[in-house]
Chain A
Amino acid sequence: MNTLTSLLLAGALAASLGGPAHAQRSDPENPDANATWQQLRTTMFQARTIDTAADTIISLEAPERAQDAAIVPISIRTHVEQRPERFIERVYLMIDNNPSPVGAIFHFTPASGRADIETRVRVDAYTHVRAIAEMNTGELYMTTRFVKASGGCSAPPGKDMTAAMASLGKMRFRVEGEVEPGKPALAQLMISHPNNSGLVMDQLTRMYTPAHFVRRIQVSYAGQPVLSADVDFSISENPNFRFYFVPTGEGELKAEVIDTNALRFETAVEVDAGS
């Protein structure tokens, strides 16, 4: 088990010790007060300083009121050039009131170009969502948004359920826009996967759908890592990630995805940035 997996587990454990996450109330005006966050902060960052006046480093876009609690678009933007001597090494995405509040830990390198990431998450209740940037030099910066989302009868008719399972692990991977050598290029990775949390009961059978979700994603360009992520079931079904990498010429952009059933999926796209 690597350190980051232990951190994810620690996060889940902290939440379970904190009692049912659903029962917690968050004060929109006071993001520091949430008990889950206070436990996570101690577990993960100990006494380290976290700078919350972080607008020049990291910002987070999330809808104030979610259209659908099961699929809330989250966009993390960073404002630091990824240079070998100083870059954002990790971005933590946390959702205080989710059953497993550490939704994802993204790892970046200088070859990422930018440490931006866009994805979609499940939100169980009114909650703060946090993005924390950790520099390679150790400083921590946090930005916070309050998101109002709650379940309803949100499940649409099961028109595509069989199709969804038939296409399990299918991926679409592409690079968007014009690609220029040395300039960060935007890539999108889409994975067909139900990302079942294991916490949802089928109302007809009264059985819980077993947990089965994407656990790890690794992306490399020309053999160099540009993004890796430890993720869990806070990520919505059909996980979707938009991120950057720096093309240098011809090279293969390759993605590898591993889920909780130890299924492994791979895809790649040839990038020709000219030179």
Chain B
Amino acid sequence: MKHAQKGSCERSARGRCTAWLSAVLVLAAASFGAQAQEVRTVARGVHVFIGDSGEPTPANRGMVGNIGFVVGETGTVMINAGASYRHGRALLAAAERIGGKPVVLVVITQPLQEFVMGAAAFADRGIPVLAHRASAELVAARCHNCLHTLRQLLGEDEMAGTRVLPPDRRIDASGPLEAGGRSLELIHPGWGSSPGDLAVRDLESGVVFAGALVSIGRIPELRDGDPAGWRKALADLQTLAGAELIVPGYGPPVRAGALDAVSDYIGDTEARVRALFADDTPLSAMVPAAHLPRYAGWALYQPLHGRNVQLRYLALERASFAH
């Protein structure tokens, strides 16, 4: 390793080499049929399948967003389950091949199709699937619609065997998690990107898996979010991670400082929508009026920013009836 190594091995207060692989260490390319998905190792036993940052398409086969796994002495914990039954099976096989330990648990960070649709592949092996109660309820309430849409979008073949499986282990609050011989911490920061957000922290490396709470270089989806709660959750994650890596739901692993831009996007969008709403701007004029050039280069600015603007506008409108 030459320049790639520069500055990447910083010793933390505890004297460990915390970022030894933060540059680029592609351990393996797990094969998913014809398409390979990149795997990065971010610390000892801590790995990430890097997913696409776009919308699900036949080309990316729905494999949107990052999926993590942490390998302990006796077993492996998956962080999210993938976008289809087939994807879930492939993730399971790749994680066990790379880590050499059986998968013993799946943690769902948010009830999003790219994270939950592969759950049945794990359940069929008897592997429990854990989520916050609010996430599990949302999966049950609405993921049938998503599956229907995904079948149309990606085709029956790609989605073969996929079924909606609400997580069977449900938690209500933050707490420690011992699994596979490794100590993890589950963090529920409150209603941030969704009512049942979970982040997962590996105690050995300090790496934090943030799921959809963090979206790097990609517009965050505000549909399920609470803007103020989300910004607070981001601040909490920054404190929690300290100098260690944060694995986002979308985009490359980052340091805490990179979360500022995510928080800015949420705050700037909310401020603009509130100002336009207060000014009696009709819904039909909102999308062009709420254009934010600073974020126009992020993935999915079209169509997600417009959708976010409309959703926040309608939320303000609903709230106005309550007075």
Contact = CB atoms under 8 A, between A and B. Distances in A.
Interface of A: 61, 63, 65, 67-68, 71, 73-75, 118, 120, 150-160, 163-164, 167, 170, 172, 176, 188, 190, 192, 203-204, 238, 240, 242
6 contacts: A68-B311, A73-B283, A152-B149, A157-B134, A160-B318, A238-B314
B282 A152 contact: no
B310 A67 contact: yes
B194 A157 contact: yes
B233 to A, nearest CB: 15
A156 B311 contact: yes
A238 B318 contact: yes
Q: Interface on chain B toward A: helix, strand, loop, or mixed SS? A: helix
Given A67-B303, A152-B149, A157-B134, A238 B321 contact: yes
B322 interface: yes
Interface in B128-186: 134, 138, 140-146, 148-149, 152
B94 interface: no
A242 B282 contact: yes
A165 to B, nearest CB: 11
Contacts of A159: 195
B200 to A, nearest CB: 21
Contacts of A150: 149, 152
A75 B322 contact: no
B239 interface: no
Nearest to B310: A67
Interface residues of B, number: 36
Given A67-B310, A157-B134, A190 B149 contact: no
A167 B322 contact: yes
B282 A118 contact: yes
B317 interface: yes
Contact of B314 (A71, A74, A167, A170): A71
A170 B321 contact: yes
Contacts of B144: 203
B153 to A, nearest CB: 9
B113 interface: yes
A185 B194 CA distance: 41
A204 B139 CA distance: 10
B145 A190 contact: no
B75 interface: no
A120 B284 CA distance: 9
Contact of B284 (A75, A164, A192): A75
B282 A73 contact: yes
B284 A61 contact: yes
Contact of A151 (B140, B145, B320): B145
- Specify which of A67, A73, A153, A204 lies most central, judged by the most chain B CB atoms within 10 Å of its CB: A153
A159 B318 CA distance: 11
A191 to B, nearest CB: 9
Nearest to B314: A71
A172 B321 contact: yes
Contact of B318 (A68, A163, A176): A163
B190 to A, nearest CB: 13
Contact of A172 (B148, B195, B320): B320
Contacts of B194: 157
Given A152-B149, A154-B145, A156-B223, A73 B134 contact: no
- Please indicate which of the listed interface residues B319, B320, B321 has the most CB atoms of chain A within 10 Å of its own CB: B321
A153 B322 contact: no
Interface string B295-311: 00000000100110111
B124 interface: no
A92 B287 CA distance: 26
A155 B141 CA distance: 9
A157 B140 contact: no
Given A75-B282, A153-B145, A156-B223, 13 more contacts: A65-B303, A67-B287, A73-B283, A75-B284, A118-B284, A151-B145, A152-B149, A156-B224, A163-B322, A203-B145, A238-B314, A238-B318, A242-B282
B212 to A, nearest CB: 13
A259 to B, nearest CB: 16
Contacts of B314: 71, 238
